[in-house]
Amino acid sequence: MPTLATSPAASGQGQRDARHDRQFRILLTASAVLVLLALAGAALSMLWSGRSVLLSEGLGFFTSTDWNPVENKYGALVPIYGTLVTALIAMLIAVPVSYGIAFFLTEIAPRRLRTLLGSAIELLAGIPSIIYGMWGFFVLMPVMREVLIPWLDATLGPLPLIGPLFRGPPIGAGMLTSGIVLSIMVIPFVSSVMRDVFLTVPTRLKESAYALGSTRWEVNRDIVLPYTRSAVIGGIFLGLGRALGETMAVAFVIGNSVGFTASLLEPSTTIAALIANDFGEATEEYRAALLLLGFVLFIVTFVVLALARLMLNRLARREGN
């Protein structure tokens, strides 16, 4: 029988396709490497610019609370503490609220209302952070000063363990106020992710659970959450990354004090807010300290996202097993 020979045109087309595939692979690899180089370059440039402060302060830069640019003493514990605490408060408020919003939009709300509320939530994500800061300064701070802070001081302040966290003068600015503003900024991101992943759950699974007599809460707890656990955790850490790096909204309402305080009701500062407020008028040595603070914020955010990735990988392996 005669053999089928490959035509020269087909052979040439195959070679061109292979060449284009190699070029496309090289382009994608270069794009990924470029991102990594930009990331590493930004981090190393901040570390190099702040090397003088790191050499003079040593590890005391990370453990000292003495931040005094006049005497060239720089201890970053206060802004680091403020960054972590405000982000933690934001997530403690945003996660349950976002879960409730996502559950309502996917399981309870009428179809027409789902589209309207979903668009409104996504619109919140597009509002500039300075608008949130102005709202917090002109609206939230008076409420905190006149209502919430006196109530917390009188109710929770006398308690033995958590009391020191809720004692303070009714100023209005503080880590609690910043955490509330950050939670409002984070909710659109986390709730949108949760809503989208809740919609990926097969309808047959939920209908089967309802047919067996399960309530909506039981279906969500036993079917929806286990099915979407990894994506939900990823969305939560995405919101946490946004909360850690927020600048202008926090600068309006945190009080911008570099004095250490355990109280959530007293003024404090964060890394991003301190850099934004002081970078423009900083001397050369002070600018080096602020750039080193930027490197610390980069490391904190990187560690948080790395822990999120590690947790997601462990969940994926556990689900595979």
pLDDT digits over 88-104, tens only? 999 999 999 999 999 89
Q: How far, in Å, CA of 304 to CA of 313, rounded?
A: 14
Burial class (CB in 10 A: 0-12, 13-18, 19+), 266: buried
Nearest to 82 by CA among 278, 276, 255, 315: 255
Using a cut of 0.75, tell me whether the model's pTM lies above it: yes
Give the chain's end-to-end CA distance (angstroms, integer): 53
Which two three-digit tokens encode residue 192?
A: 């949108």
- Report which of 227, 271, 285 is spatially closest to residue 106, judged by C-alpha positions: 227
- Tokens encoding 125: 């994500």
Residues 6 or more apart whose Cβ sits within 8 Å of residue 307: 237
Q: Over the range 187-220, which residues count as b (16 or more CB within 10 Å of their CB) and which as e?
A: bbbbbbbbbebbeebeeeebeebeeeebeeeebb
Cβ partners under 8 Å of residue 234, min gap 6: 193, 308, 312
Report residue 134's pLDDT band, with 50, 70 and 90 as the boundaries.
very high
What value does the mean pLDDT take over residues 267-274? 92
Q: What is the pLDDT of residue 217?
A: 86
Average pLDDT over residues 197-213: 87
What does the pLDDT look like over 221-243, one tens digit per residue? 888 888 888 888 888 888 888 89
Cα–Cα dist 68/51, whole Å? 18
What's CA 51's distance to the chain center, in Å? 28
* Structure confidence at residue 8 as a pLDDT band (50, 70, 90): low
Q: What is the pLDDT of residue 7?
A: 63
Confidence at residue 1, expressed as pLDDT on a 0 to 100 scale: 46
**With bands split at pLDDT 50, 70 and 90, how would you rate the model's confidence at 319?**
low
Q: Which of 195, 318, 249, 250 is nearest to 79 (CA)?
A: 250
